[in-house]
Amino acid sequence: MATRAKQIDAALDAAVPLQYPEVINEAMRYSLLAGGKRVRPALCLAACELVGGTADAALPTALALEMIHTMSLIHDDLPSMDNDDFRRGKPTNHKVFGEEVAILAGDALLALSFEYIARETPKSVPAERTLRVVVEVGKAVGAEGLVAGQVVDIKSEGQEGIGIDTLQYIHHHKTAALLEAAVVSGALLGGAGEDDIERLREYSRSIGLAFQVVDDILDITATTEELGKTAGKDLAVAKATYPSLVGLERSREIADELIESAKGQLVTYDKLKAAPLIALAEYIRSRKN
């Protein structure tokens, strides 16, 4: 993860240069280069290499996924959404640049992400693969993916009777969809067959849901300093979470079950090539922020 993060950070720095009007590029770079685990790009690159592709083929899509993820964080922190003051231990984008610029910075990152996939994917990758990736990523971020999950999440706050099915819908769409797009896109770019794609889709859905279950757990067990963002927000707004519905211990068990299920999808692959995806699954289980 450290090696991948260093590679990804350098490439992201080059992808968003400072140019006129400087303020929008400064705002984009502020959140894009603020650190983070770079899980989505790492998953994309690992999936591509698993099926015999090269990291170079998937790097533009990996960067695009981080741009989209950053957009979602900028918008999620806005006063009209979660109204957070801190992200990754730093003031949130709108606190530094104002709400108007923060919204536009997110918009610009989203637009750039698709441009970047189309423009920077190596010509050695067949065009139909790149097109499938654009469709996969677009679906993950739009009204069938991240946006859908965010809308249901907002409308569910403070509501009584929110059950596990609604919570799973929120988590699958708000968080797991982009992780799924990362893995599937990497596999597509690496030339995976349909059986591989479906197997890796199942892997990614399990780790995606586990990621959010762990997030729910950390919200009530970690401090603001450990998280780099405000702790206890879910409880404060009466948001349905796995701990609030099934308890802390069962939530941990569910996360473990999901990670083991994800790893089970990789047993047919070469152990060395599958090792990064197995390690990423374990990383999601054990993360502290």
Q: Where are the domains of the chain?
A: 2-286
Residue 87 one-letter amino acid: R
Say if residue 236's pLDDT is above 60: no
Whole-angstrom distance, CA of residue 251 vs CA of residue 168: 13
Q: What is the dihedral of CA 253, 232, 234, 173, to 10 degrees?
A: -60
Q: Which residues pair with 90 in a beta bridge?
A: 87
- For residues 5-21, average pLDDT: 93
Whole-angstrom distance, CA of residue 76 vs CA of residue 84: 8
Per-residue b/e over 140-165, b at no fewer than 16 CB within 10 Å? bbeeebbbbbbebbeebeeeeebeee
Q: Which residue has the tokens 């231990």?
A: 89
Say if residue 253's pLDDT is above 70: yes
Average pLDDT, the chain: 91
Its pTM stands at: 0.91
Label residue 157 by pLDDT band (50, 70, 90).
confident
Say if residue 152's pLDDT is above 70: yes
Which tokens go with 115?
């441009």
Return the CATH fold of 2-286.
Farnesyl Diphosphate Synthase (1.10.600)
Least confident span in 69-78, 147-156, 224-233, 272-281: 224-233
- For residues 180-202, average pLDDT: 96
- For residues 114-118, average pLDDT: 97
Q: What percent of the chain has pLDDT over 70?
A: 94
Whole-angstrom distance, CA of residue 100 vs CA of residue 78: 10
- For residues 150-159, average pLDDT: 86
Q: Which helix (H) or strand (E) holds 69?
A: helix 55-76
Label residue 88 by pLDDT band (50, 70, 90).
confident
CA triple 118-121-127, angle to 5 deg: 70
Label residue 14 by pLDDT band (50, 70, 90).
very high
- For residues 277-283, average pLDDT: 93
- For residues 106-125, average pLDDT: 97
Per-residue pLDDT tens over the stretch 209-226: 999 999 899 988 877 776
Q: What is the dihedral of CA 268, 272, 274, 278, to 10 degrees?
A: 120
Say if residue 98's pLDDT is above 90: yes
**3-state class (DSSP) for residue 90:** strand
Q: What is the DSSP string of 149-216?
A: HHHHHHHHTT-TT--HHHHHHHHIIIIIHHHHHHHHHHHHHTT--HHHHHHHHHHHHHHHHHHHHHHH
CA triple 208-211-213, angle to 5 deg: 110
